[in-house]
A and B are shown apart, each in its own frame.
Chain A
Amino acid sequence: MENKEKSKGQLIKDLNFFKKIGIKQLEKLGVRYKKVDEKLMASEGQLHKVLATIREGVTFSDKTGYFYVYNSAMEKLTGYSLEEANACSDFISFIYPDPKDRQMTLQGIAELLEKRTNREIETIITTKSGQLKNVRISSSLISHEGHDLFLSVYFDITEHKRAENRLLVLNKTFLEFEANPDRNISRLTAVLGESFGATCALYSRLEKGMLRVVGQWNMPVDFSPVDKPDGHICYDVIRRGEKIAIIQNLQESPYVQTDPNISRYQLRTYIGRAVRRGENYIGSLCSVFQRDFIPSKDDIKVLEIVASAIEVEEKRKQAEEALQEAYTKLKETQSQLIQAEKMEAIGRLASGIAHEVRNPLGIILQGVNYLEENVYSEQKDIFEMIQTIKNNIKRADNIVRTLVEFSRAGELNLKAEDINSILENSLVLVRHKINPANIEIFKELALDLPKVLIDNNKIEQVFINLLLNAVEAMSGGGKLFIRSYLIQLNDSKSDAAGRNRNYFKLMEKAVVVQIEDTGSGISKESLRKVFDPFFTTKGSKDGVGLGLAVTKNIIDMHKGIIDIESEAGKGTKASIILKIA
């Protein structure tokens, strides 16, 4: 109390002392101002001016907490004026309401008095308006006429601390990243929301024409995770590939008409950024506020960092998806191949049995034919017996035919398909092999071909097989002809036996697919064996030789025809003839 009654004269005396010692102390404490001309410092007014221009809070007080000097930066920092600070009996309790912070400050003062060396502490003060501020306080003790006086400089490190915290949070998030990109994206979204102190934060991705929420923080429970994109700010941000989109006063913006969330959740501010995957913008990261919010430079930086991190995750997700897809496709192809090989083996076995059974049946039938001409007409019982034998020859023949057809039918999933599109599809799948091989592709696909009755997957396998063979035959480059056209089968000059069991009837129309290369070709010797299982001209490393055997079996299953013409050194032409649906 006695301090408050100090006369103005005393105050001026103290200030004069301060003039002499204080400047040096201030410099020691790191207050950033240039050495000022002694003359300039000669008056009290000038000193106040200097203190007023210093950005850091500067105080000069005694043990009781009475402030002799309390500059304008200090007023700004605490919200309290010099008069207010001196008017309250326990200012320390005011600005350090948290006992922990207060304890630290008081301990600092005690140590300063004891050790009499400069002290520096970091603490949190509470301003008049209740705001928390991080400060670093440098204090030193000055003896003046037997009194201990404190010179303190307050550095406001709130922003610095906030940035540091953000970095820590970001770092922690990165360290805790998981294998699942979507979950990481979710965490990153939360980091943005928390860091901004937003109402909520959201990352949504454009998927199959819909806006789908991938990451969310603090979103209301009734928020729809999938929505049509039109009218949403996020959609416009994505479409425009906006680096930074800040929309204030949302309630007055045109979006209030198109985006129902704005009025529903009384949003006032939107801050967002488009996120891309490769070349394309596919998502948007945003924070929304129910209050006005003007982002600082640091805020924008945080948005940038989080968005970039999401872009990395998106890229990873894309790679993962591609890998997954390739793996699934590989698995599928593998199992199809195993299945096809099985079917080929069964088909081969059945055909072999059929052939072996039909030969003796043919002999029996001819023998019976011979016998029946040597039977007299009155020997009815013998005629009957011969007829019975003939019926049973046909029966045995039918059994082996059924066996062959059953083994070929396999699990065909027959549908009327456009052969050209399957051909194009197969071509896409082997592009990676064609492109680097210096091979020119000539497509001669007939338009308006009738549809063919085929199992799309199996025929695709046939085309891939033939295309890969063609590419392998042209290791030094060449021309690849891919043709499709309609033919009429009219090779037969006679149909003596009236065979209705023919798959292709005479004059029937069929679709031909032709794959021709200008590669190494196949020798006459080898050409005869190309369809034999395990026959190969490649080293054991490159193939086990089931390719064409399987190919032929698939065509057999379709009751189609495969024809391979080739000349060593000139190239190979593979033709496939398929039934019209």
Chain B
Amino acid sequence: MKKRKVMVIDDEMDFLKVIKLNLEKTGNYEVRTLSTAKDIIPEVHFFEPDVILLDMLMPSIGGLDACEMLNNDPLGKSIPIIIVSALDKDQDRYLAYKKGIIDYLVKPIEKKDIITAIENALKYKR
């Protein structure tokens, strides 16, 4: 089975490290991590991910801005986005859903829940 490509964007380097290890260990995913959303568009064009895991609160470009950038890109807007954030207010959830995300996960979250969310998202093409 062809590995699905997952791009993870989070400013927490340790989080990127553990999630990459966990997802790749399943043998089903190829993971590329970014610690900032600054170059998200060229990175998306380069990596062509099947799904994007995105943090909300990041310095300079936040999750909602990153969504906006993706939405304005012909390739970017077709990729399902899952928010993985420590913010858990409905307020944040609402604003994210308005940007067209597929799911909103709140840290701390179990690996199996992330995988379920990814698998759900993969069924859905934006």
Contact = CB atoms under 8 A, between A and B. Distances in A.
A401 B88 contact: yes
A259 interface: no
B108 to A, nearest CB: 4
Nearest to A565: B98
B22 to A, nearest CB: 5
Nearest to B56: A355
A494 B103 contact: yes
Contact of B102 (A360, A493, A561): A493
8 contacts: A366-B19, A369-B110, A496-B116, A496-B120, A498-B113, A502-B93, A503-B90, A504-B90
A369 B22 contact: yes
Given A359-B15, A363-B15, 11 more contacts: A359-B12, A393-B108, A491-B98, A494-B124, A497-B117, A501-B88, A552-B91, A556-B91, A561-B90, A562-B91, A563-B98
A486 interface: no
B103 A493 contact: yes
Interface residues of A, number: 44
Interface string B4-16: 0000000010110
B75 interface: no
A397 B108 contact: yes
A243 B113 CA distance: 84
A308 to B, nearest CB: 60
A376 interface: no
A197 B99 CA distance: 85
Interface string B34-78: 000000000000000000000001000000010000000000000
B88 A370 contact: no
Contact of B103 (A492, A504, A552): A492
Interface of B: 12, 14-15, 18-19, 21-22, 25, 57, 65, 84, 86-91, 93-95, 97-98, 102-113, 116-117, 119-121, 124
A373 B25 contact: yes
B98 A358 contact: no
Given A366-B19, A366-B111, A496-B116, A561 B121 contact: no
B120 A363 contact: no
Chain A's interface: helix, strand, loop or mixed, by majority? Answer: helix
Given A359-B86, A492-B104, A369 B94 contact: no
Contacts of B124: 493-494
A354 interface: yes
A568 interface: no
Contact of B14 (A356, A363, A503): A363
Contact of A491 (B14, B21, B88, B94): B94
Contacts of A499: 105-106
Contact of A362 (B86, B93, B95, B102): B86
Task: List the 6 closest A-B pairs by CB distance, nearest first.
Answer: A362-B107, A496-B117, A491-B97, A358-B86, A366-B18, A369-B111
A501 B90 CA distance: 10
A358 B108 CA distance: 6
